[in-house]
Amino acid sequence: MISVTVAAHGGRKRVVGGHLKAYDSGRLSIFDLNIQPEKLEVQQRRQLWSHLFDKLFALAFLLFQTCFPFLARFFEKPDNNNVEARMAARRKSAKIPPPAIHKLTSKLLLNVFSNLDGVDIAHCEAVCKRWRKVIEKHNDDMPKVLKDQIRILFDEGEIVIYPLDSRNTPTRYPMPNLQRLAILLRHLSTLSLFVRGLIPIEAIPVLKSLCQLSLRPQQIYFIWSKFSQESIALLEELIICNAETLTDIGFEECSPTAFLSDRLIFPIVHQIQSLRVWNDAKSGQHNITDVTLGHLTRNFARGHRLETLDLSSCRISSAALSKLIVAWSKKPKCDLSITVNFCPDVFRSEIVEWMATREDLHLHNGKLARNGCVLTLFC
């Protein structure tokens, strides 16, 4: 801001420097002080008319631009930024045809995916949202990466995946949240599924996740697991979902024991090769009865195999177990190991007497040999 004194003498700005002269409270240029008042008035009038002409010209040019915008372009200097912005907007508005690969139908994609391996399927899933939906919808039919065993260890908070080649070290993952459990395992299949340390509050979501997968295990084994009463139906569903491949099932120190019953085993009893139901007799008896032994006895007549029968705290009898041993002796296919503990209605002496009097079969040190196969009884 210029001082009042400078403005009173016609100065347009307050200047500083050695050519200034003190004048009251402001400073004026020495050259301005030497100008005569008449010339100074003429100079001020010229400046006023020049300023007024500039304003009128700017107003006229603005009206010209408004009324004739197409002619105003010839008087404007092109702005590179505006040109680039217009070109970018034009490119954005242009319709780019989708790539040819997006025209593939879901059915054709499914045929292509079915000829890939599990690793390639996982890579294809990350390509785009459409491919991922096709893979998720038909996940059960997709090729899987086969593993030897998957161990879900809730007590240690980790998942251990064992490769088929025993020379390779297993891969360990920290336990994911229950919602991501199925996502982690969805591209895998395994020969053995091992679950340890399951608790009732987690039983339902965990079993739901396992039912959604297509692991195709030959063996399912639960150890130190506690199921809730509501989760038993999901446990039955898990066995039914894997009935095509499942031949080995086991429950060790699992509760509640009352729900581990014949009904649980029934979907696979016609093909089962190994059955283990065991506890230390402190948790109560399992509801595995002579009905299951009867199915296993009839399996021998059909030529099926049974390799391991390990029952503890079950409601079976000496007579049913004796009939099973006799059926094996007639058509043995492989060695059979039978272990019976804490079963109140099973007595070794009754089994030996029943077999000797009715079938003339004799156990030697708990073993029975037939056609190169050996049955071993621990009772």
The phi, psi pair for 193, rounded to 5°, reads -115, 120
Domain of residue 300, CATH code: 3.80.10.10
- What confidence score (pLDDT) does residue 363 get? 87
pLDDT-based confidence at 7, cuts 50/70/90? low
Which H or E element spans position 226? none
Q: What is the mean pLDDT of residues 151-177?
A: 91
Span 132-152, average pLDDT: 83
Q: What is the pLDDT of residue 31?
A: 52
Structurally, the chain folds into a number of domains equal to: 3
Task: Reply yes or no on whether the pLDDT at 213 is more than 70.
Answer: yes
Binning pLDDT at 50, 70 and 90, where does residue 95 land? Answer: low
Smallest Cα–Cα separation from 283: which of 201, 342, 196, 200? 342
Predicted local distance difference test score (pLDDT) of residue 304: 92
Same structural domain, 314 and 208: yes
Residues 201, 131, single domain; the answer is no
Tokens of 219: 């063996």
Q: What is the C-alpha to C-alpha distance for residues 365 and 360, in angstroms, rounded to an integer? A: 16
Kindly indicate the confidence band of residue 345, based on its pLDDT and cuts at 50, 70 and 90: very high
Nearest CA among 20, 42, 46 for reference residue 33: 20
202 vs 157, 197, 226, 228, 231, CA distance in Å?
13, 10, 9, 9, 9
Do 237 and 309 have their domain in common? yes
- Asked whether 14 and 37 are in contact (CB, 8 A), the reply is no
Same domain, 73 and 22: yes
**23 lies in the same domain as 52:** yes
Percent of the chain whose pLDDT exceeds 70: 83
Query: Among 9-23, 31-45, 164-178, 322-336, which stretch is predicted with the lowest mean pLDDT?
Result: 9-23
pTM of the model: 0.69
> What H or E segment, with its residue span, contains residue 220?
strand 219-223
Phi, psi (5° rounding) for residue 256? Answer: -75, 135
3-state secondary structure of 376: strand
Q: What is the pLDDT of residue 28?
A: 47
Residue pair 172/159 in contact (Cβ under 8 Å)? The answer is yes
Print the domain residue range for 44: 4-93
55: pLDDT strictly greater than 60: yes
The CATH number of whichever domain residue 135 belongs to comes to 1.20.1280
Q: How far is CA 240 from the centre of its chain?
A: 23
Instruction: Identify the band that residue 93 occupies on the pLDDT scale cut at 50, 70 and 90.
Output: low
Contact 255, 226 (CB under 8 A): yes
Residue 26 has pLDDT above 50, yes or no: no
Task: Give the mean pLDDT of 284-310.
Answer: 94
Predicted pLDDT at 94: 62
Instruction: Tell me: pLDDT of 272 over 70.
Output: yes
Q: Is the pLDDT of residue 317 over 70?
A: yes
Q: Which of 85-89, 256-260, 292-296 has the lowest mean pLDDT?
A: 85-89
How confident is the model over 329-343, as pLDDT tens digits?
Answer: 999 999 999 999 999
What pLDDT digit, counting tens, does each position of 219-241 carry? 999 999 999 999 999 999 999 99
Q: Cβ–Cβ contacts within 10 Å for residue 85, how many?
A: 11
Place of tokens 């030529």: 303
| 132 shares its domain with 165 | no
Mean pLDDT of 165-189: 85
Query: Are residue 50 and residue 131 in the same domain, yes or no?
Result: no
Token pair, residue 374, equals: 């050996």
Single-letter code of the amino acid located at 42: V
Partners of 151 in the beta sheet?
160, 194
Higher-scoring residue by pLDDT: 252, 39? 252
Instruction: Provide the Cα torsion 293, 298, 304, 307; round to 10°.
Output: 20
Indicate if the alpha-carbon torsion angle 218, 153, 226, 235 is positive or negative.
Answer: negative
Specify the 3-state DSSP secondary structure of 145: strand
Amino acid identity at 130: R
Please provide the average confidence, as pLDDT, over all residues in the chain. Answer: 83
Q: In angstroms, rounded to a whole number, what is the distance separating the alpha carbons of residues 150 and 194?
A: 6
- 248 with 302, same domain? yes
CB 278 within 8 A of CB 249: no
Predicted confidence at residue 154, as pLDDT, reads: 93
Q: Are residues 54 and 118 in the same domain?
A: no
